[in-house]
Amino acid sequence: MPLRLRKSNEAEMRSAMQGETRHFPADIVALVTSTGPWSPAVMAAFALAKRWDSHVTGCFVDPVLRTLRGLDGEPTVMSLLLDIPRDRQGEADAFQTLAQRYGVYGATWMSTHTGLARTMHQLGAWHDLIVLERDIAEEDGDLEVLGEALLCCRRPCLMLPPRWDRELAFDRVMMGWNGSLEAVRAVHAALPFLGQSHEVVLVDGASPAVEDDGKVMPYFNPIAYLAQHGIAAKRRRIHVSAHEAGDALLHEARRMNADLLVMGAYGRSRLRERVLGGATRAVLQKGVLPVLMQH
């Protein structure tokens, strides 16, 4: 059984100086598409785990089956996750060795033999963050397979651009805001990433009607919420149509040279919640920076 390190002094000091307790993701899962070389998602997950003293699960996703659609079916995903085929045992050992080399002493290896949506839905039940590459299911399904998985897992997902080979940095973080519950959840999920950020900009495209909802429903003020957690965010208002929202977010991200974009993951409609909305689709198709999304 892997040993767990105590919370790092750096993280403790940062929380103490800010006068609050910031909860870091305890369990991170990296969806593995390659073991030679290792997927960018693995390296990113190790970097985050070392920073936060998190446990990392590496889950190899069968390339033949990852584009399967739907959440239902047999056998159960849990049974598929728990069994490590003998031909993958060597990769499990290599994963443990790699984790220790990067200073991560809590690591578990799994493999799955079903679709991406079912796998992420199951793994999301006991993980706090999912790290994956945007082109994990780039075959004929385009973004539909990824969209279904993203909208069904109900966990924050750190999406890496294709062929990502840089170190993760969060010096400049841009957050997309439209007043929706998805955006609220994304702001909340981003807190662990913002502890060492030098610049946080909230690009606000919410309509006045959204703010008026605060007269009936409890109102969430993202700037005040971030300030409560020691993060001084700046608000930048934009006025664009829903059709232009994705491109506008990417334009603003390029303008500030952002290291990370944070936004809600939106479905096209409540009746077709597993289909990506326009802004989410545009960011995933055209973005060249890591994106933290939460549905």
What separation in angstroms does the CA of 55 have from each of 29, 61, 86, 167?
8, 19, 24, 19
Same domain flag for 103 and 205: no
Same domain flag for 200 and 101: no
97 in any annotated domain? yes
In the chain, beta strands by DSSP E: 27-32, 55-61, 107-112, 129-133, 157-160, 172-177, 199-204, 233-237, 260-264, 291-294
Same domain flag for 209 and 155: no
1 in any annotated domain? no
Tokens encoding 179:
């007043």
C-beta neighbour count of 181 within 10 angstroms = 11
In 138-253, beta strands by DSSP E: 157-160, 172-177, 199-204, 233-237
Q: Which domain holds residue 86?
A: 9-159
Same domain flag for 155 and 13: yes
pLDDT at res. 2: 34
pLDDT at res. 141: 47
87 and 76 Cβ atoms separated by less than 8 Å: no
215 in any annotated domain? yes
pLDDT at res. 209: 54
Same domain flag for 232 and 141: no
pLDDT at res. 219: 87
Q: Which residues of the chain have pLDDT under 70?
A: 1-22, 66-67, 69-88, 138-142, 207-215, 267-277
As a whole number of angstroms, the distance between CA 70 and CA 57 comes to: 23
Same domain flag for 109 and 242: no
As a whole number of angstroms, the distance between CA 182 and CA 192 comes to: 17
pLDDT at res. 144: 79
167 in any annotated domain? no
Helix 40-52 / helix 89-101 crossing angle, nearest 10 deg: 50
Q: Domain boundary at 102, 128, 159, which? A: 159
Number of structural domains found in the chain: 2
Same domain flag for 91 and 190: no
- Partners of 3 in beta bridges: none
What separation in angstroms does the CA of 84 have from each of 35, 78, 90, 112, 236?
15, 12, 10, 9, 49
pLDDT at res. 4: 35
43 in any annotated domain? yes
Instruction: Give the HSE-up count for residue 189: Cα atoms under 13 Å, Cβ half-sphere.
Output: 27
As a whole number of angstroms, the distance between CA 149 and CA 71 comes to: 9
The sign of the torsion formed by the CA atoms of 217, 223, 228, 229 equals positive
CATH number where 274 lies: 3.40.50.620
275 and 189 Cβ atoms separated by less than 8 Å: no
Name the pTM for this structure: 0.84
Same domain flag for 130 and 217: no
SS (H, E, C) 110-164: EEECCCHHHHHHHHCCCCCEEEEECCCCCCCCCCHHHHHHHHHHCCCEEEECCCC
pLDDT at res. 268: 56
288 in any annotated domain? yes
Q: Domain boundary at 131, 159, 187, which? A: 159
Same domain flag for 115 and 139: yes
User: Is 77 strand, coil or helix?
Assistant: helix
